[in-house]
Structure formats: C-alpha cells, structure tokens
Amino acid sequence: MFYTVEYIDDKLSILDCQKLPAEEVYLTLETREDVFDAIKKLKVRGAPAIGVCAAYGLYVSTRNVEEDFDRVFRETREYLASARPTAVNLFWALDRMERRYEEVKNLPLCEIRKELLREADRIYDEDAAACRAMGEYGLELLKPGMGILTHCNAGALAATKYGTCLAPVHLGQERGYGFRVYSDETRPLLQGARMTCWELAQDGVDVTAICDNMASIVMKQGKIDAVVVGCDRMAANGDGANKIGTSGVAIIAREYGIPVYFFVPTSTIDLDTPDGDSIVIEERDPEEIRSMWYEKPMVPEGVKTYNPAFDVTDHKYITAVVTEKGIVYPPYDVNLKKLFEEEN
C-alpha cells in the first residue's frame, strides 16, 4: 500500500506525485530547498498533504541548526510559506509550528526540536482522523451504486490517509457500496487521470476517466448522482477555491439538479478571508498548457497562454460542505463560523 507523506525512521518521505502513474518513487526531503521544491513542483500536492509536508519540512530542515536557531527557524518558515499561495493549509500548518515554537522557545534546543516534531506529528494525526470522519459523514450523503463525478485529486494522494472527498469512496469500497466514479482528467496537470484513477484503481473502485469537457454529457446521460470535490481554501461566506475547472463542474451540475459536495477539513476553512474574491489564485508556468505531456508544443509559438491553477466556486452552487465536525448547510456565512465557536 502506498503512502503520500510520512515521517519514517527519522526521515521525511513523500511519494513523488509527478511521476504517477508510470512510476511509484519515494523521495526523502532533508533541506528547506528540497521541501520548497517538492511543494512548488507538485511532487507533494493537495491542501492537507502540503500542510503536513510543510510542518515536517520545517522541523527536518532546521533540526541540525545549532547557531542562531531563532532566525533560521523564522526564515525557513517564511521561505516554505512562499512555495504556493492558494491552499491555506500551508500557512495554517506553518502557523501552528510557529505558535508551538513561541511556547517552547526558552527551552534547551534539544527540547525545542522534540516539541516541534510532536507538533508535526499532531498535525499528521489530526489530518488522518479528519479524513476518516469526513468519509463517515460523506457516506450519509451517498447511496450504494451511485454514480459520482470528481475533479482533480482530493484522495489519499492529497492527504494522509483516505483523503477528503475520496474518503467516502474508499470507505464505501470497504463496505461494498459499489460506487461508479467518473474522474475528470483535470487539465493541465492531469491530477484526475494520473492520481485519482491510479488511487481508486489500486483500491478496486469502478473508475472511469473522462476529459474535462465530458462532464456535461455524463450528467445529461444520468450517469452522475453526486459531485464530490476537495478544497484548497474556503472563505468565510462558503466560496471555495479548488482546482481549476471545479466551478464549471458545479455550475453544470446545478443545471442538471445534481448535488455538489465540497469536502473541507476545518484546517482548510479560512474565516479571515471574507469571500472568494479575496483568495489569491496561483498562476503557473505556461509550459504546462503549451507543451507538457505532448511530444511537440500544441500552442503556436507567439500565442499567449493563461494558466490559473484554481478557481472559486460561488457558495450558491455548493449543496453542502462536509467537514470532520459534521455536514454544514447554507447559510454558510453563519454555519461555518459555528464550527469554530463550538471549539471554545
């Protein structure tokens, strides 16, 4: 069985998602440049996995620092935070590590290191538990035999264990639900084709790859009963940033009366961001559109490209938000806040 990001034998190890599905290669990340590069180049990707990797990455890349630890720790934190802008889990995890550091910074260095590792372990364990809980809540919304459409990869390859929106699919598989999953290929980086299909096929799930522009026809043909997707950042009003193309899927689903479920651990909900317009959208290398995956460039030379990595689905298209604390329904501006109030 594969893993996505693990701290094993004192090493931070990740599955290189960019090599899937052709090769299953694990990388050890030691320096802050290793960690930055892995996140930037999507060797590790998906909001929760990025957060877990950044937390362990901050620990491993500073654990041998003897001189001027405070400065190096803070610089490393800032550097890792600059790897990608949209998924809030990156900042959330690094903030947690920094808060823990503030609490223990007067202890001897060896104790500080132990505490930082413990915090990263807690972030990992909480993510695994959250995925499992979202899987159980998700199954309350899905019935055996359903056709499910998903976009990008918000599965075990994007988190610690079951994933977020694929958690109910994996759990359903264990329980004989017989879901039929349609996976958008997810241009331009093909997370759906390369990762969702790989992960679900490994688990024996009935999965069919479609091109992104086929979502409408499979919905019209009655093959889809629900859309499930993950999220990179959910604003306080319920607008959700996710992989580019998600908002189009949600708008089409509304036309066909198909529910759209966003799976969002509370680590991905950002109450400091009021709405989707305030979310920074990452723009990536034009080569991902122009030439990546092709033998020859497919866009004529000199023609401009635009490559936003995420879009924002307006909250009005989101039927429900599945979190590890339960299922949230509109009005999201009121009900998302309650998840955090109950904590205190």
Give the active site residues.
Answer: 232
- The residue number with the shortest CB distance to ligand MRU is 230
Interface pick for ligand MRU out of 62, 164, 183, 313 (rule CB under 6 A): 164
Residue 116 or 226 having the CB closest to ligand MRU: 226
User: Does 138 participate in binding ligand MRU (rule CB under 6 A)?
Assistant: no
Query: How many helices (H) and strands (E) are present in the chain, helices listed first?
Result: 12, 14
Give the end-to-end CA distance of the chain in Å, rounded to a whole number: 38
Q: Is 133 in the site for ligand MRU (CB under 6 A)?
A: no
Query: Residues near 69 by Cβ (< 8 Å), separated by ≥ 6?
Result: 62, 109, 112
- Coil, strand, or helix at residue 28? strand
Tell me if 243 contacts ligand MRU by CB under 6 A: yes
Contact region for ligand MRU (CB under 6 A) — 44-52, 208-216, 291-299, 320-328? 44-52
**By CB under 6 A, residue 212 contacts ligand MRU:** no
Tell whether residue 309 is a contact of ligand MRU (CB under 6 A). Answer: yes
Among 20, 35, 134, 158, binds ligand MRU (CB under 6 A): 158
Binding mask 49-68 for ligand MRU (x = CB under 6 A): --------------------
Q: How far is the CB of 95 from ligand MRU (least distance, A)?
A: 18
CB of 162 to ligand MRU, least distance (A): 10
Q: Look at residues 53, 23, 48 and name the one whose alpha carbon lies nearest to residue 38.
A: 53
Secondary structure element (H or E) that encloses residue 263, with its range: strand 260-263
Tokens encoding 224: 């889809």
Q: Are 44 and 160 contacting, i.e. CB atoms less than 8 angstroms apart?
A: no
Q: Which is nearer to ligand MRU, 15 or 152 (CB)?
A: 152
Positions 70 through 99 that interact with ligand MRU (CB under 6 A): 87
Q: How far apart are CA 324 and CA 133, in angstroms?
A: 5
User: How many residues contact ligand MRU, by CB under 6 A?
Assistant: 19
Shortest CB 150 distance to ligand MRU, Å = 9
In the complex with ligand MRU, which residue's Cβ is closer, 119 or 199? 199
Is the separation of the CB atoms in 325 and 339 below 8 Å? yes
Check residue 154 for interaction with ligand MRU (CB under 6 A): yes
CB of 300 to ligand MRU, least distance (A): 27
Find the binder of ligand MRU among 15, 20, 152, 226 (CB under 6 A).
152
C-alpha distances out from residue 182 to 47, 138, 152, 164, 219, Å: 22, 17, 11, 16, 10
User: Is 192 an interacting residue with respect to ligand MRU (CB under 6 A)?
Assistant: no
45 binds ligand MRU (CB under 6 A): yes
Q: What is the DSSP letter of 20?
A: T
Should residue 232 be labelled a site residue for ligand MRU when binding is judged by CB under 6 A?
A: yes
| Residue 227 engages ligand MRU in binding (rule: CB under 6 A) | no
Amino acid at 14: I
Question: Under 8 Å CB-to-CB from 292, ≥6 apart: which residues?
Answer: 188, 189
**Between residues 173 and 191, which has the closer beta carbon with respect to ligand MRU?**
191
Strand partners, 328: 321
197 binds ligand MRU (CB under 6 A): no
The least distance separating ligand MRU from the CB of residue 242, rounded to whole angstroms, comes to 5
Q: What is the DSSP string of 172-237?
A: HHHTT---EEEEE--TTTTHIIIIIHHHHHHTT-EEEEE-GGGHHHHHHTT--SEEEE--SEEETT
Contacts with ligand MRU, residue ranges (CB under 6 A): 42, 45-48, 87, 152, 154, 158-159, 163-164, 191, 230-232, 242-243, 309
